Structure formats: C-alpha cells, structure tokens
Amino acid sequence: IIVIVIIGIVAFITAAIILLNKFVFSRLAIKRQIKDIERRYSYLDALLCGQDAQYIQRLSILSASNLTYVEVYENFRKTFNEIRDIEDRYAEAKIKQVKSLIANGQYKEIKTVINDARKAVDQFETAVNKLDRELYEVIKPEEESRQTILKLKEEYRTVKQTFYVGQADLTLVNDS
C-alpha cells in the first residue's frame, strides 16, 4: 500500500510539474521574449525617428547651402522614408499581432508569430543600424568642422578680450 501511495504521489508531482511547465513557465518565457523584442524595437524606433531624423534634417540644411549634398540628402531621405514606412510598420504590426494573441489567450499560434516578429525586428535593426552608420559617416566631417569653428571663435574672443584689456598699455607703445 505504501508503494502505491508513493507511486501516486510521484505521478501527481510529475503531472503537476508538466502542467506548470506547459501552462505557466512556457507562457512566462513567451512574455519575456516579447518584452525583449519590444525593447529592441522601441530602441530602434527611437534611433530612427530621433537621431537619424535629426541627421536627415541636418543634411537638408547642408544641401540648401552646399549643392554637393543635394543628391546625398535625397538618397538618404528616400532610404529613411522606406525604412520608416515599410520595415518599421511591418515590425510594429508583428509585435501588435503577438500582443493580441496573448491578450486573446491563443498560445498555440504564438510561436510562429513570435518568430516572424523576431525576424521583422532583426531586419529592421539591420536597416536602421546601416542607415545610422552611413549618416554618421556623412555628418562626421561637418560636425568636426563645426567643432573646429567653435574652437577658433572662442580663441578669437580670448585674443580680442586680451587686446582690449591691454589696449591702454599698447597706446603708450604706439605713441613712441
């Protein structure tokens, strides 16, 4: 009788572990994966709509005063719009689809949709990072020039201020 009770307890514990794994732990893992995908997407979307949009705006300003940047600006603006309008929206739609499956409790179909969402975010990440690197390489020389100009202006102010402070001493030398 004790053996039967022990076998029953072991069977019950095994069944409980299997049920916990199937219904609790797997769902927690799915939710963790979705949070990771959402976090990556949010970062990339902010990079695209924040920093890269500012780079595009700076290129627009540069192209207005420097004709060599007109074609560069047009190419980057076109690429930016394609990524924003196609890949960004596709990745966002996949994430919304996964979230709606979770909200409806449809965990059976979720694995394929999560894989699709992960692939969409991976493609989005590749496109955004490539655009960001290329924009940075174009903006970098302009930024360095701007920093050099600011440094030279500051040095000019310092020299000018030193001149005005010592101007009285220089008038004595100038008269002789």
Q: 127-152 pLDDT, tens per residue?
A: 999 999 999 999 898 888 889 999 99
Query: In whole angstroms, what separates CA 98 from the centre of its chain?
Result: 21
What's the pLDDT at 68? Answer: 86
What's the pLDDT at 23? Answer: 65
What's the pLDDT at 175? Answer: 56
Q: Give the span between the Cα atoms of 84 and 90, in whole angstroms.
A: 9
Question: What does the pLDDT look like over 156-176, one tens digit per residue?
Answer: 999 999 888 877 776 665 655
Q: Give the span between the Cα atoms of 2 and 8, in whole angstroms.
A: 10
- Looking at the whole model, is its pTM more than 0.85? no
Q: Could you say which DSSP state residue 68 is in?
A: G
Where the chain has pLDDT below 50, the residues are none
Q: Which two tokens stand for residue 32?
A: 């963790």
Q: Are 41 and 96 in contact (CB under 8 A)?
A: no
Residue type, 145: S
What's the pLDDT at 166? Answer: 79
What's the pLDDT at 28? Answer: 75
What's the pLDDT at 174? Answer: 60
What's the pLDDT at 14? Answer: 82
